[in-house]
Structure 1
């Protein structure tokens, strides 16, 4: 990185930044430790902002840093309007936002409204059975014959109901018992949570990613979920039943519309929803159309690239179906990895991780890049003694552990990869002395240099940031498509196979010139009639 790399960029056009931009997800425990305790923090993120400008992203999404007992590492919130001392303070948060904005970077927060911590004052009052917050959580008597009110299962295994001796009733928790679900049918809960949004918006936040947004409303009658007859004991227990009544209820869309309304009080802010549902249901979370446009989430997260088989024809058909299913006025988005699912390089291997990066950054819509994917970090073996993920500890042997995708960012070849001056909370990759920002940033053939080149080219080409998407004919392991904005045309061809492939260039295309190869060695090469893609190679062509 040079001095010029840290200079401020021109702010995005109002009303357009999240359409043109690239979001970069930061898991704060693992990005940069500034105080030597082995855990990342907000000051660490602030010190690395120049790297993000150099890389070429437009916004950072920061996973939870609120006060929490850390049963689920911050997704169990005990104060929605504060910062846990592990991560810093409100002052360090304000400094992060200010410095990010000076550099032209937007800041998106992780909002966790479905459940709080069991230690939140709201829950403590609710469990007493007295006072105005009695109905702020989901309490029920047991079944007539004893036991939990219904058959709902926690996402981390076991019953989703825990009996509370103090109140003499069961409370519902879609995740850990230490994460009781709030009752979003209560208008007071909605109002309180909307005030939480306003608290952070007034501090300059540019948007929110809403955790498990499809869970917020449950079936009012609490009907049993139907059995999943395809389930086997080798699968997580949550899959024993189809989650028909415990999530994705019609009334949730009014809740989301209320959140959207709060953001619109503050101008050009972004609402993202985490949704693991079939694509036909995901697109419903854009909301109902009105004279002001769609009224749901701006971006219901599209996780198809995380879940789909890495097969060219499958991906091509999936992209076409998604594009065709989007409501009028909706803007697409794409995600390759996140803090809950194995990294892309762990799923498809290091060579295809380069191809995947080209796919992510050239599809139509807003991409989200997960920290460390620009280094091609693969699966990190976590010794049993160092497992931290509560899901892995509750359901061992099923491969559900999320620690491998949460390991520390690798900055240089110094002690602890430049992440900390002490032992990090999770292990580094075995090859961290070679796989780090300092080494890869100086290597023009590295995956980091490739990702940076893709981001720079995307920024310079309106065909990539806003252009239409059209699938092109191809066969075998190839996926080909065009991005076009008026006369500007960019062609992308990806070889998802381990053997060389010939791509017959459609006759309606002019002579093509390679601008980027995932192998970083073919820029400027011209093609007419056909083009040969080597194994595990992606090519981007200028066809203007």
Structure 2
């Protein structure tokens, strides 16, 4: 289906993932249901009504598989089980049933690039050079000087090669040395991961977010990566080289087409790819004839300068780069990057939410952003993140965006009855769900109303996007569903009031970031307060500028 080009009454029903809002849960930090200070499946189950009330359509849960937790679940030791830390397979089945019973979908994190070094596959692979599982991973002889085979670097610091003393060969790991990379050139690996996917979809899983999907293929000749001429002191050491031989190889598209074919064996399933690439490369991951991932995660909002002109250029560039029929998507935060409220400030966080939920495409909301949670400073003695431990002093640690969800003002923010695995924010007694739920002007109330408004207006769900001419801190665009409706969005991405001049009567305000101005008639101009955005239902016959 080409949802972009179908219009009005002739438009076929869009897929659930095109009209839905996805909500990411970092399971260790959402809700502790067993009293050990770590979030789990029973905890998620207990909070499903909150998510349904918020208006969420799909829940994406970060890894819950058995793991030694060297990288908190992204080092998988069994792809088809549930780590006891999070619960049981029976807990998972109950969660699937409960999610579906509330009309929502459930997505899992698939980590196919690497396993834990404790996975039975790797234990067999390192047992001897002639073990049948040896070629399931990437092994190379030492360089002539006895060092690593080439200059490839780990994203988590240092060489990407670790010597296995027993066999005298190095194995490759794009991340921790406890996360050896699988060899996706081996058809047995391909078949094994495909069967993992089928196993979970048979249990009712509605799709996958695929971790570091652009890493899956590496140069078959193991050539060095070139030096990065832009590298400078103080940058992440990984940036010293350009990863041309280790990421984004053209061959990865065939691998992804195989993943998509498996997903397509089951009706209405979704495949998302984690891909940190520029827009012009990102869109290649829709694949030939749109047989790649349904949604290559678009992280551009995480790095774009927060000003109206930069945002306008980004949106226009992205829309133009999409292949015919490619469905857009937008992300403001995740478990790896600074929270939006910290990045742009609490006032602009509301504007950011309005942007996320009114742009064309599928939005993904990170847990806690709906109440304005910010990065939490982590005392040195409580740092958990291996990234921060391996590459200290550069502000790369991710613990501060993974802190416990703030539910109420009770001890430990209602997340747990005991000290959580990470500290709660100092402001949890004010910034929490219970405090905001009854406040008609709170961030939570605003986001709930915003999602409801999005659902109520087809133009916001599946309508076209058109940028309108604007200057300075004003970002102005219209969502149009031919023959149905038009919705105007005006965002003040700045700290001073401004006025948007428009010809004649436009319509009525549907929602303001301040949760007021409802039904205010707009004619000739829109006066925006500092850090304000408004959504306006455009009257029939009203003329909008180009």
TM interval, shorter chain, is over 0.9
Select the residue among 427, 431, 434 that pairs with 2:423: 427
Tell me the distance in 2 between the aligned counterparts of 1:377 and 1:34. Answer: 21
Select the residue among 339, 342, 348 that pairs with 1:343: 339
Q: Does structure 1 retain, via aligned residues, the 8 Å contact 2:106–2:206? A: yes
Tell me the distance in 1 between the aligned counterparts of 2:13 and 2:538. Answer: 30
Where does 1:58-457 land on structure 2 (aligned, <5 Å)? Answer: 58-128=57-127, 129-289=129-289, 294-457=290-453
Q: Secondary structure at the match of 2:327?
A: coil
Tell me the distance in 2 between the aligned counterparts of 1:369 and 1:376. Answer: 12
Q: What is the CA-CA distance between 1:236 and the residue it aligns to?
A: 1.1
Indicate whether 1:525 and 2:484 are aligned.
no
Partner of 1:489: 486
Q: Secondary structure at the match of 2:43?
A: helix
Partner of 1:5: none
Tell me the distance in 2 between the aligned counterparts of 1:244 and 1:371. Answer: 33
Q: What is the CA-CA distance between 1:473 and the residue it aligns to?
A: 1.2
CA shift digits 1:326-349 (9 cap, x unpaired): 001110000000000000001000
Q: Secondary structure at the match of 1:75?
A: coil
Indicate whether 1:35 and 2:30 are aligned.
no
Mind listing any 5+ residue stretches in structure 1 that lack a counterpart? 1-12
Partner of 1:54: 53
Tell me the distance in 2 between the aligned counterparts of 1:299 and 1:309. Answer: 23
Q: Does structure 2 retain, via aligned residues, the 8 Å contact 1:474–1:504? A: no
Q: After the TM superposition, which parts of structure 1 deviate over 2 Å for at least 4 consecutive aligned residues?
A: 509-512
Normalising to structure 2: TM-score of the pair?
A: 0.95
Q: Secondary structure at the match of 2:347?
A: helix
Tell me the distance in 2 between the aligned counterparts of 1:319 and 1:313. Answer: 10
Q: What is the CA-CA distance between 1:428 and the residue it aligns to?
A: 1.1
Tell me the distance in 1 between the aligned counterparts of 2:45 and 2:166. Answer: 43
Q: Secondary structure at the match of 1:515?
A: strand
Q: Secondary structure at the match of 1:416?
A: helix
Q: What is the CA-CA distance between 1:267 and the residue it aligns to?
A: 1.1
Q: What is the CA-CA distance between 1:94 and the residue it aligns to?
A: 0.5
Q: What is the CA-CA distance between 1:527 and the residue it aligns to?
A: 1.5
Tell me the distance in 2 between the aligned counterparts of 1:489 and 1:14. Answer: 19
CA shift digits 1:69-89 (9 cap, x unpaired): 000000000000000000001
Q: Does structure 1 retain, via aligned residues, the 8 Å contact 2:35–2:416? A: yes
Tell me the distance in 2 between the aligned counterparts of 1:332 and 1:296. Answer: 14
Mind listing any 5+ residue stretches in structure 2 that lack a counterpart? 1-11, 540-546
Q: Does structure 2 retain, via aligned residues, the 8 Å contact 1:157–1:238? A: yes
Partner of 1:475: 471
CA shift digits 1:461-518 (9 cap, x unpaired): 100000000001111101010001123011101001110111011x3x7422111110
Tell me the distance in 1 between the aligned counterparts of 2:389 and 2:528. Answer: 44
Evaluate the alpha carbon distance shift between residue 125 and residue 370 of structure 1 in structure 2; reply closer, same or farther with a 3 A threshold. Answer: same
- For these two proteins, the number of residue pairs brought into alignment is 526
Tell me the distance in 1 between the aligned counterparts of 2:277 and 2:229. Answer: 19
Select the residue among 523, 531, 534 that pairs with 1:536: 531
Q: Does structure 2 retain, via aligned residues, the 8 Å contact 1:100–1:106? A: yes
Q: What is the CA-CA distance between 1:14 and the residue it aligns to?
A: 7.8
